[in-house]
């Protein structure tokens, strides 16, 4: 994978009334073109500082940030767009007008920017709300407008600083899946800050876990993190249920199933996650499920032992 973003041994220190504080210390990582990278860690670990560096808003004391082969030396609206927790919409502008605002700042002709904004309405689920003002939209819809405004600029990178942090759980879950769908369609490179490990696991192709003092504890795929945490800090941060989190990343149709051999009983679709399959077994009081394909035909059997083997 070609790395679009390279963070090379970056340090950042802030002066405080009680003395200097390390925000980032020797952080190095790369993000591939079209990759979704999530940054997570305890408060004060430097997540937002690193995001600010990627946007050119924060300058490292040492090390460097390189994007597409060029050092980042300041903000560049052609390089990255940012979405914050507060959507920051203009109340006197409609949905369509808010989405096209960044293009307006760039001097894009009105007809062109309107066409770009209209193309984004459908994937964002806002087609029926183009003429609505922010006060007429739910919190989730307003955040979708903010995402649309960032996507409209058509930068290769989108930076997101806890964009779903203030939303209720149902809206948050819906927007997480919508963001994944949009990212798969548009192939944007996304760097996403979150405090929620489940969100990081769901969204990230790779996850960077930072510890206090701005040190990178581990940078890896969700599968690798959950199966092989580098140390006790990472394991505790992932949670005592990391085995169940690992089961949530895989589906029944990805397993080598046992033969049917006349087994009958509860069934589950092949698209069911292993975590949901385990829950179904516990609820039904059974140690196996018959796995069905998309046409509803039995394909094989998954057992409780095979599921626990994956999680081990």
What angle is formed at CA 85 by the lines to CA 106 and CA 24, rounded to 5 degrees? 90
pLDDT of amino acid 312: 64
> What is the spatial distance between Cα 278 and Cα 301, in angstroms, rounded to a whole number?
13
pLDDT of amino acid 61: 92
> What is the spatial distance between Cα 50 and Cα 5, in angstroms, rounded to a whole number?
12
195 three-class SS: coil
Per-residue model confidence as pLDDT tens for the chain (312 residues): 678 999 999 999 988 888 888 899 999 999 999 999 999 999 888 899 999 999 999 999 999 999 988 999 888 888 888 888 788 889 999 999 999 988 888 888 888 889 888 888 887 888 889 899 999 988 888 888 888 888 888 788 989 988 888 778 887 888 888 888 888 888 889 999 999 899 999 999 999 999 998 999 999 999 999 989 999 999 999 988 888 888 888 889 888 888 888 777 789 998 898 989 999 999 988 888 999 888 888 888 898 888 888 766
3 three-class SS: strand
- The model's pTM is 0.84
Question: Which DSSP string do the residues of 233-283 spell out, in sequence order?
Answer: HHHHHH-TTHHHHHHTT-BGGGS-PBP-TT--S-EEETTSBHHHHHHHHHH
> What is the spatial distance between Cα 263 and Cα 243, in angstroms, rounded to a whole number?
27
Distance of CA 44 to the CA centre of its chain: 20
DSSP H helical segments within 35-124, as ranges?
47-54, 95-99, 101-105, 110-121
pLDDT of amino acid 256: 86
Please count the other Cβ atoms lying within 10 Å of the Cβ belonging to residue 89: 22
> What is the spatial distance between Cα 145 and Cα 97, in angstroms, rounded to a whole number?
10
pLDDT of amino acid 263: 74
pLDDT of amino acid 200: 93
**Long-range contacts made by residues 215-220, C-beta under 8 angstroms, separation at least 24?**
215/25, 215/26, 215/27, 216/26, 216/27, 216/28, 216/29, 217/41, 219/29
Among all chains, which residue has been given the structure tokens 């609505």? 132
Yes or no: say if 101 and 93 are a contact pair by the CB < 8 Å rule. yes
Catalogue all structural domains in the chain, each as residue range(s) with its CATH number. Answer: 3-241 (3.40.50.300), 250-311 (3.90.1280.20)
């Amino acid at each position: 994978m070609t790395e679009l973003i390279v963070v090379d041994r970056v340090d950042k220190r802030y002066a405080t009334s009680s003395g200097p504080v390390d925000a980032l210390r020797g952080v190095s990582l790369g993000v591939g073109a079209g990759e979704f990278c999530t940054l997570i860690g305890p408060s004060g670990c430097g997540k937002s500082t690193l995001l600010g560096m990627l946007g050119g808003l924060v300058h490292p004391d040492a090390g460097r940030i390189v994007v597409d082969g060029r050092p980042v030396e300041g903000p560049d609206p052609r390089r990255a767009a940012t979405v914050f927790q507060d959507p920051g919409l203009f109340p006197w502008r409609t949905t369509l007008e808010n989405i096209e605002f960044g293009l307006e700042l760039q001097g894009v002709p009105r007809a062109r920017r309107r066409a770009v904004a209209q193309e984004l309405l459908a994937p964002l689920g806002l087609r029926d709300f183009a003429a609505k003002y922010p006060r007429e939209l739910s919190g989730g819809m307003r955040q979708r407008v903010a995402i649309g405004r960032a996507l409209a600029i058509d930068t290769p990178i989108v930076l997101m600083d806890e964009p779903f942090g203030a939303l209720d759980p149902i809206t948050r879950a819906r927007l997480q899946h919508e963001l994944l769908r949009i990212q798969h369609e548009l192939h944007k490179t996304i760097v996403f800050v979150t405090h929620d490990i489940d969100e990081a696991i769901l969204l990230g192709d790779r996850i960077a876990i930072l510890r206090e003092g701005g040190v990178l504890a581990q940078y890896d795929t969700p599968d690798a993190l959950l199966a092989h945490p580098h140390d006790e800090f990472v394991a505790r941060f992932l949670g005592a249920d990391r085995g169940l989190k690992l089961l949530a990343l895989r589906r029944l149709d990805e397993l080598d199933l046992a033969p049917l051999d006349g087994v009958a009983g509860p069934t589950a679709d092949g698209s069911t996650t292993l975590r949901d399959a385990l829950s179904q077994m516990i609820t039904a009081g059974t140690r196996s499920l018959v796995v069905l394909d998309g046409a509803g035909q039995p394909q094989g059997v998954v057992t409780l032992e095979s599921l626990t083997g994956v999680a081990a």
